Structure 1
Amino acid sequence: MMKLDRREFILGSAATLAAGTSASALPVSKLVQRHPGYGAAATLLDLQADPRLGEAISTYCTQVVPVQELKWPMLRPDAHTFAFEHADAIHDFAQKNDLTMRGHTLVWYYDIPDWTKQLKDSKAVERAYVDHINTVVSYYKDKLTSWDVVNEPIPDNPKSVKDRRDTFWTQHLGDRWIPLAYRTAAAADPSVKLAINEYDIESAKDSFIAKRAAYRNLIMDLLDQGVPLHAVGLQSHLHAELEIDTHGLADFVTEVRSWGLEVFVTELDVNDEKLTGSPSERDAIVAKRVDDLLTAISTSGPVRSILTWGISDRYSWMNGLVKRPDKQPNRPLPLDGEFKPKPFMDVIGKFTKDV
């Protein structure tokens, strides 16, 4: 692997310098726009490429999360290397702008580097698994507010409440792969909050209701085992054409909070692929979905952590992977492609003013 100098990541371009402007140097008019508890995901490359992105995050947010930089493929190019430079640069950006940072993600079924699949037996897999979690969490001890420890453990269309996603880790570690991840992370940093993270549980479609029930069952099972789980993450990649199941979601959140867990909105955005109408009409529907989501979650207490998966439509993953029939760009985030706020941002402000 070619080693890249950490300073190059931080200072190698004018964009990075702009993104790293101290928050204390920002005009008061911008600082007052910050929404307590609100944050956004970003990649280092985008921060470096466009000064407006770092400025937007430092203007509206109090926290940030790396999109790719803490996932296995970027962090672990081979079995013997931990490449922290990319994530460190985002952490430095956060510090310079008076932002907190959370970790995403320690274990995900989807993003597994090829070298792990060459491991010879289950004992070797377990050693790599434990070593990775221990090393990464120890490295960022006392630097991050929380970790998405396990990401997306429930399959789409689960067959029962006990259904779990069949993964590379399941095949080698069995049912204990999830408890093992949490116990390893907690031992490495006893003070960081450990979350579990899942998507597609917010609507009243049968598949969403089934997934929500399986997610609830897994959370309850982990708590029954004494697993150190502190927070439940709702990714909330919403589908604009689907109404929020406000009653079902409120009941779910109320119950998990009664178990002593916090609730985080971790990856919020709204796919408007199936909406028709003008941009302003689509934006109004998107804002309504977000308002309904946050209203349901707020029924049993304030939403103290809301992260959108990006902040500007220009840098949304959806516009690379999700194509509207009319060829117009998706409008999934609080700021448009020119970094102008939309009604979505007003909703964020409504639910963070008292946090």
Structure 2
Amino acid sequence: MIGRRQFLAGAGALALAAARPSAVPAEEDGEASLATRARRKGLSFGTSVSTAELRLPALRAAVAREADLIVAQNELKWWNTEARRGQPTYGAADAIMNAPEFEALTRRGHTAVWYRSIPDWAKAEFSAGRGEAATLKRVRDIVAHYRGRIVEWDVVNEAVWPADGRPDGLRDTPLAAAGGLDLMADCFRAAHEADPDARLYYNDYAVEYASPGEDEHRAAILTFLEAMKRRNVPIHGFGVQGHLTVGNRFRERVFARFLADLAALDLKIRITEMDVSDQRLPADFALRDGKVADHARQFLDVAFDQPAVVGLVTWGLADPSPWLDAERARPDRLPQRALPLDRDFARKPLWTAIARSLDGAAKRG
């Protein structure tokens, strides 16, 4: 059932969508980068970078050319920065953050707390009843290490999953068992204490499409965020991961209503991990690229219609996408074409779709 809050927020979002200005065709604007197009509208465009990608000079150059924000893909996760208790290792993340080509780019942090990146020694701490203290120390340590350098953090990642059946709607993990909503709130407070100037986000997936499961997930996320707000938790934004799949049921009204509900909580919104899976499409490159671009454009046009949306991050800039090819492989085992640039760092139709959606976005104040 749609409550009054959801109905009114959704109506506002749809009215804004109706007033959306026409996009300027990307080809009429020469070689302007995605970051340039985003900045013109008061937005930002960023991408994730991995250690393996950092070894590719052409990739580094493409990132510096197209983006104004970077995020390390896995190098800041707990198991990578503290595989051994009390022995932090930031070398891999620092190599990305300090790459000369990226000097002018804004840094984003992903992620302080994620149930899938708990190192083995910390799992033992949870088993011994000391998981809450270990988690809060982790948050303070990682955020303090990058104080003043990383300006925006995914503090908590993927903590809500109502299908697990917990009364509080949290995913049934050691983190939830250790402290529930209290621990989630304390993670944000610890991050704020470690860097009072950093913008703090809750980040999650499975919010983009119309399905009973995602409807339930969106509602649970809103309930979680409302609980954080009632506790005066320093949470400034929500990250829509944006792992899209061509063929999934996207409904503009449903997604627009969710974004409006987030904005009504006085939260900024960033698309934080966008890629577009072509897993279900035939092998033909041209067909795949066209369908991927069309799907992304539909999604992004709705996103950028919401004034609370501050920007877009793609989960990688150039094909291939190792995580998609590993976890959501095509039946024919061909590499997916999920990212804005191809293997030779040439712009694809997905790049053009992003450019046109940015060009058509209303300018932020």
Q: Give the conservation status (yes or no) of the 8 Å contact 1:161–1:214.
A: no
In the TM superposition, 1:22-171 aligns within 5 A as: 32=33, 34-35=35-36, 36=38, 37-48=44-55, 50-93=56-99, 96-119=102-125, 124-155=130-161, 157=163, 162-171=168-177
Residue 172 of structure 1 deviates from its aligned partner by 2.0
Give the whole-Å Cα distance in 2 for the aligned partners of 1:346 and 1:215. Answer: 32
Q: Counterpart in 2 of 1:228?
A: 234
The two structures, once aligned, show a CA RMSD in angstroms of: 2.2
2:364 matched to 1:325?
A: no
Query: 1:327 offset after TM fit, Å?
Result: 2.7
Instruction: List alignment gaps of at least 5 residues for structure 2.
Output: 1-29, 39-43
Give the 5 Å matches for 1:212-251: 212-251=218-257
Q: CA deviation at 1:147?
A: 0.3
Cα distance, 1:302–1:282 mapped onto 2, change above 3 Å: farther
Q: Distance in 2 between matches of 1:157 and 1:142?
A: 38
Q: Which amino acid aligns with 1:150?
A: V
TM-score by length of 2: 0.83
1:198 to 204, 227, 236: 204
Q: Residues 34 and 354 of structure 2 are in contact (CA less than 8 Å); yes or no, is this contact kept in structure 1?
A: no
Moved more, 215-224 or 295-304: 295-304
Give the superposition deviation at 1:162.
4.4
Query: 1:300 offset after TM fit, Å?
Result: 2.7
Q: Secondary structure at the match of 2:54?
A: helix
Shift in Å, 1:277: 5.5
Answer yes or no: is the 8 Å Cα contact 2:321–2:338 preserved in 1.
no
Looking at structure 1, the residues matched to 170 and 291 of structure 2 have their Cα atoms a distance apart, in angstroms, of 33
User: Does structure 2 conserve the Cα–Cα contact (< 8 Å) formed by 1:64 and 1:94?
Assistant: no
Q: Give the deviation of 1:188 after TM superposition.
A: 0.9
Tell me the percent identity: 29
Q: Distance in 1 between matches of 2:309 and 2:266?
A: 15
What secondary structure, in the 3-state scheme, does the structure 1 residue paired with 2:99 have?
A: helix
Deviation at 1:260, TM superposition (A): 1.3
State which of 272, 281, 289 in structure 2 corresponds to 1:283.
Answer: 289
- 1:316·1:333 contact (CA, 8 Å) conserved in 2? no
How far has the Cα of 1:303 moved from its partner? 3.7
Measure the CA separation in 2 of the matches of 1:32 and 1:108: 32
DSSP-derived class of the 1:317 partner: helix
The residue that corresponds to 1:263 in the other structure is: 269
Corresponding position of 2:320: 314
State the alpha-carbon separation in 1 of the partners of residues 201 and 124 from structure 2. 29
Seen in structure 2, the aligned counterparts of structure 1 residues 30 and 225 have a Cα distance that, compared at 3 Å, is same
The count of corresponding residues between Structure 1 and Structure 2 is 326
Asked if the contact 1:102/1:145 (under 8 Å) is kept, the reply is yes
Q: Give, as a single letter, the amino acid of the residue that structure 1 aligns with 2:240.
A: L
Question: Is the CA contact (8 Å cut-off) linking 2:325 and 2:336 kept in structure 1?
Answer: yes
Aligned counterpart for 2:258 among listed residues 252, 262, 266: 252
Point out the more displaced range, 70-79 or 318-327: 318-327
Q: What SS is found at the alignment partner of 1:263?
A: strand
252-261 or 152-161: which moved more? 152-161
Contact 2:162 2:170 in 1 (8 A): no
Equivalent in 177, 181, 184 of residue 175 of structure 1 = 181
Higher relative contact order (CA 8 A, sep 6+): 2
Runs of 4+ in 1 over 3 A off after TM superposition: 29-36, 94-97, 120-123, 156-162, 351-355
